[in-house]
Amino acid sequence: MIWKTQKEDISLAILYLLTNIFANQGEVMLVRRYGKKHGAGGFLFNGVICLFAMIFFIVSDTGGFHFPKGLWVYGIINAMLYAAGFYFAFVAYRVGNYLITHTIAGMSFVFPIIYGLFFLGETQNYMTYLALACTFASFFLMLYGRPKDKEKNEDKNFSFGWLIATLITLISNGFISILAKMQQAKLGTDINNEYMIITLSGATVFLLLLGFVKEWKELKHTFLKGSAYGAAAGLLNGLKNGANLAAIALIPLSVLTPLKMALNKPLNFLVSFFIYKERYTTLQYLSIGFGILSVVLMQVAKYV
């Protein structure tokens, strides 16, 4: 088996994983709706999200707060990654196709897998690598098979700004997962709330300061139109990250991340197809099939 743990731990890990996935889906949908409907105040809006995500970790703490000196370094670095990830994800989902943006941003799993395999000594078997190959195939089919404007031969959903925003989101998310594992390995898993409070308070300050400097003319509009969206998305983000940190403590990072991405893919497709009415080419539908196959293979890999 890939990892050895108690049955109770596996059940908890699955619960945390599903919580993370559905909370993430709800958060992204709220952010995308605000971006599409109003679109103003990206820094201010995401500052509100970080603020309410931080409140979630303050309220949900049960053991009292403890902030060891070493935690601040990880938290401040993570705050910068979070601020970048929040803002550029907002930009990417506002201007881009929902499923394609989700697919590329989800490739952040490559970073923690490499870290888990080469720096933590986590072991895998051939079935896991086959599952990863299916995930890569799914990614490339999704991009290669994207629909084009027949007259101009241009991608309908592609722009340079969207691509840059999506890639920054991808890189930020990848290093956030790595940093969480590094922090837990050095300082333990009993200060997850403190870690996220430092992270999200730093991201809140950073984003709001940028918002007040760059978006002060949109301040009233953003808080009138975006406060409810931001508060709801922030609470879902807190739930998502709390579940993710709990799952990381139970499952090897190189297993958790691709499994989460693979489970996300069918859900993303259903949301894209039925809610946003997005339609795809034959190759992109094949991409969905490879994503589902990777889920099956990842589960089989546990018992090989």
Mean pLDDT of 216-223: 89
Alpha-carbon torsion, ordered 111, 181, 259, 115, to 10 deg: 30
> Looking at per-residue confidence, does 9 or 44 come out higher?
44
Q: Is the pLDDT of residue 296 over 80?
A: no
Lowest-confidence segment of 12-21, 52-61, 151-160, 286-295 by average pLDDT: 151-160
For the chain, what is the mean pLDDT? 85
The length of the chain is: 304
Whether the per-residue pLDDT at 187 is higher than 80: the answer is: yes
pTM score, whole prediction = 0.82
Among 1-10, 188-197, 266-275, the minimum mean pLDDT is found in 1-10
The pLDDT, as a whole number, for residue 151 is: 46
Largest alpha-carbon pair distance within the chain? 62
HSE, CB side, 13 Å, CA atoms: give it for residue 245.
22
Q: Would you tell me how many other CB atoms lie within 10 Å of the CB of residue 136?
A: 13
Q: Taking residues 242-258, report their average pLDDT.
A: 78
Q: What is the distance between the terminal CA atoms of the chain, rounded to a whole angstrom?
A: 6
**pLDDT score recorded for residue 73:** 96
**What confidence score (pLDDT) does residue 304 get?**
63
pLDDT band, residue 213 (cuts 50/70/90) = very high
Least confident of 9-23, 160-174, 252-266: 252-266
Beta bridge partners of 149: 154
**For position 156, what pLDDT does the model report?**
54
Over residues 96-114, the mean pLDDT reads: 80
d(CA 291, CA 295): 7
Nearest CA to 189 out of 110, 78, 71 is that of: 71
Least confident interval from 120-124, 155-159, 164-168, 230-234? 155-159
If we measure between CA atoms, which residue out of 276, 273, 274, 241 comes closest to residue 260? 241
How far are the Cα atoms of 61, 124, 243, 262 from residue 12, in angstroms, in the given order? 18, 22, 10, 19
Question: Rounded distance, CA 117 to CA 128, Å?
Answer: 12
Cα separation of 15 and 287, whole Å? 27
CA distance 262 to 294: 6
Residue 231 has pLDDT above 90, yes or no: yes
pLDDT at position 64:
83
Q: Is 159 helix (H, G, I), strand (E, B) or coil?
A: coil
Query: Residue 79 has what pLDDT?
Result: 98
